[in-house]
């Protein structure tokens, strides 16, 4: 039920059986059907979600009601509107399930208590956010400095599992492109080699 969560935890910070049991008391488990929302824009984000199984996306909706995917969350990844979670402000992102999914949730009070009382949890949290920061910086660098072709190829190389499971128009959205443009770029890439 929390296998993957603790596997990932132990890869970063080694836990004893007892510590693991203790952390379990702070976690809740949630199943989500495809298309169900974990979070809707405007609500306060009450959890950080760890994806045990399935796939989710976080996205914002602009004035012309176009969706912009800011993040995918597949097995082993964490997904949340962190700003809303930390500040208690209304969320600016929506999060919903792309497939039937199973999540490990941690509430704000649980998160805060673990941070204060369990150094290993703080270390785990620090390493997670550091990884997320580095991943996002890579993405930003490639948006600012590379051609769309390169960016798409980098994306495929880096996240082949996402490319396989997620419809192409969502990858376009993640890249800040229209579906038509991405389709043409794929064509250009495949004919030019």
> Which residues make up the interface to a copy of itself (CB under 8 A)?
60, 62, 66, 68, 70, 82-83, 86, 92, 119, 122-123, 125-126, 129-130, 132-134, 136-141, 143-146, 176
Give the list of residues 6+ apart from residue 71 with CB closer than 8 angstroms, or none.
57, 58, 79
Answer with the entry of DNA, a copy of itself, none that 187 interacts with (C-beta below 5 to 8 A by kind): DNA
CA 63, chain centre distance (Å): 24
- Which residue's CB is nearer to a copy of itself, number 70 or number 102? 70
102, 52 contact by CB (below 8 A): yes
Helices (H), 13-118: 17-24, 82-87, 108-117
Question: Of 114, 102, 124, whose CA–CA distance to 34 is shortest?
Answer: 102
Q: Which residues contact 13 (CB under 8 A, 6 or more apart)?
A: 120, 123, 124, 127
CB 9 to DNA: min, Å:
32
Q: Return the one option of DNA, a copy of itself, none that residue 141 interacts with (CB less than 5 to 8 A, by type).
A: a copy of itself
Site residues for DNA per CB under 7 A: 35, 147-148, 167-169, 176-187
Name which of DNA, a copy of itself, none residue 167 binds, using a CB cut-off of 5 to 8 Å depending on partner kind: DNA
CB of 10 to DNA, least distance (A): 34
């Amino acid at each position: 039920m929390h296998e993957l969560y603790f596997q990932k935890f132990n890869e970063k910070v080694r836990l004893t059986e007892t510590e693991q049991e203790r952390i379990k008391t702070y976690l809740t488990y949630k199943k989500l059907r495809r298309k169900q929302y974990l979070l809707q824009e405007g609500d306060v984000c009450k959890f950080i979600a760890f994806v045990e199984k399935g796939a989710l996306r976080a996205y914002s909706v602009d004035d012309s009601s176009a969706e912009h995917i800011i993040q995918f969350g597949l097995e082993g990844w964490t997904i949340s509107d962190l700003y809303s979670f930390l500040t208690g402000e209304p969320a600016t992102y929506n999060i919903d399930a792309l497939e039937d999914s199973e999540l490990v949730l941690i509430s704000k009070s649980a998160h805060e208590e673990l941070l204060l009382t369990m150094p290993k949890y703080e270390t785990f949290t620090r390493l997670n956010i550091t990884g997320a920061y580095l991943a996002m910086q890579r993405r930003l660098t490639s948006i600012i400095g590379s051609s769309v072709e390169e960016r798409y190829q980098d994306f495929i190389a880096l996240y082949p599992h996402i490319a396989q499971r997620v419809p192409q128009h969502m990858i376009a959205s993640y890249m800040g492109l229209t579906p038509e443009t991405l389709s043409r770029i794929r064509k250009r890439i495949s004919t030019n080699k």
